[in-house]
Amino acid sequence: MIDIENINKSYGDLSVLEDVSMSINRGEIFGIIGHSGAGKSTLLRCINGLEPIGAGDIRIEGRSVRSMQGEEMRQLRKKLSMIFQNFNLLNLKTAYENVALPMEIWGYGKEETRTRVLELLRLVGLENKARNKPRALSGGEKQRVAIARALAMNPEVLLCDEATSALDPKTTKEILQLLDKINRELGITIVIVTHQMEVIKEVCHRVALMENGRVLAQGEVGELFLKPGSELKTLLAEDEWDHLPPGINIRIAFTREYTNESVITEMARELDTNFSIVWGKLEKFRSDVLGNLVLNIEPNDKNRIIEYLEKRGLSWEVLTDEL
Ligand SMILES: Nc1ncnc2c1ncn2[C@@H]1O[C@H](COP(=O)(O)OP(=O)(O)OP(=O)(O)O)[C@@H](O)[C@H]1O
């Protein structure tokens, strides 16, 4: 649905996006993760035409954003709605009035606006707070108002720029569940820019990892996370294997097909060998549970164990190999 093709973007001499390509499919929740300054927000603004791009192109359903002007650009912005970290609500207006604003701007009548706004406030669970102004709303409630407002014009895509970064973990989870519901029930494609791995794990189907204006990796979230040598893993969970014992430490990734199997005990029995489990973690990705296990093994067993893991189709990597 959104095809980003080899785009570059600079502010003066500062190159912010370099040869960035990614494809976002209709109906998915796509995450863009990276440290601060990676160029994520700039990329979002390029997608909805707020920022011009240098080289390359961005196509929305085949139409080049580059070539859009006037009415077509206005229609694009209606189709691609956006929410932000700081909510961007009008402080002097009530929750109801904030949600109604886009419909007023587009010239909808009072009755139609009222029906739609009340429906949206119900969708985001705020029907009782319609008269509250932002100062009388919690952070999570403010983001709910912003989401309702973003949905007012029936967008096809919701672009979320660090939408949960100002919220505590519990509220973050609630907002992500709301986004997931909007994706499932309304079929809206959602693009989430974040620096929080938890956000990606909780709701995203696919992810692109950005660093210094470049895409380092992209793909299905669970697969990317468990892949040996994955940039996603090393960039975002780098300190987890700091205290491994000396010797050969091998990481085994359990994809969804293996999570419930007793592969490790079977391996010990079949190879008649000993090893110690030195680190382990189960990670939840949307509804999947995927696991990582680090074994400290005897040097003599290395080849046999690797052979066994290969035979079972498990993904593995040797983390340290000091004899
Ligand atoms: N309007 C602008 N003019 C000049 N430089 C800019 C502008 N907007 C962003 N930048 C620079 O572009 C780089 C990427 O910024 P961007 O906001 O896209 O990164 P980000 O990954 O979203 O990080 P953050 O989460 O901190 O916003 C930064 O070095 C930033 O200073």
Confidence at residue 236, expressed as pLDDT on a 0 to 100 scale: 56
Q: How far, in Å, from the CA of 55 to the mean position of ligand 1?
A: 18
Of 279, 310, 309, 307, which Cα lies nearest the Cα of 293? Answer: 279
Q: Which two tokens stand for residue 186?
A: 């309304």
- Beta strand pairing status for 206-211 and 189-194? unpaired
Which ligand 1 atom sits nearest the alpha carbon of residue 213?
14
Task: Band the pLDDT of 184: cuts 50, 70, 90.
Answer: very high
Tell me: the pLDDT tens digits for 12-63?
Answer: 999 999 999 999 999 999 999 988 888 999 999 999 888 999 999 999 988 8
Tell me: the pLDDT tens digits for 233-264?
Answer: 666 555 566 678 888 999 888 776 665 567 78
Confidence check: pLDDT of 226 > 80? no
Regarding the beta carbon of 194 and ligand 1, being less than 6 Å apart is answered no
How many Cβ atoms from other residues are within 10 Å of residue 78's Cβ? 15
The size of the chain, in residues, is 323
Confidence check: pLDDT of 157 > 80? yes
Which ligand 1 atom sits nearest the alpha carbon of residue 51?
1
Regarding the beta carbon of 38 and ligand 1, being less than 6 Å apart is answered yes
Confidence at residue 229, expressed as pLDDT on a 0 to 100 scale: 65
Determine which residue's CA is closest to atom 4 belonging to ligand 1.
11
Tell me: the pLDDT tens digits for 277-317?
Answer: 888 877 778 877 777 888 999 888 899 999 999 988 888 88
How far is the C-alpha of 153 from the C-alpha of 155, rounded, in Å? 6
Q: Contact 210/171 with Cβ under 8 angstroms?
A: no
How far is the C-alpha of 310 from the C-alpha of 111, rounded, in Å? 64
Regarding the beta carbon of 303 and ligand 1, being less than 6 Å apart is answered no
Regarding the beta carbon of 113 and ligand 1, being less than 6 Å apart is answered no
Of 218, 205, 212, which Cα lies nearest the Cα of 40? Answer: 212
Q: Which domains does the chain have, with CATH numbers?
A: 2-226 (3.40.50.300), 237-321 (3.30.70.260)
Instruction: Give the helix/strand (H/E) hosting 219.
Output: strand 214-220
**Mean pLDDT for the chain?**
89
Confidence at residue 7, expressed as pLDDT on a 0 to 100 scale: 94
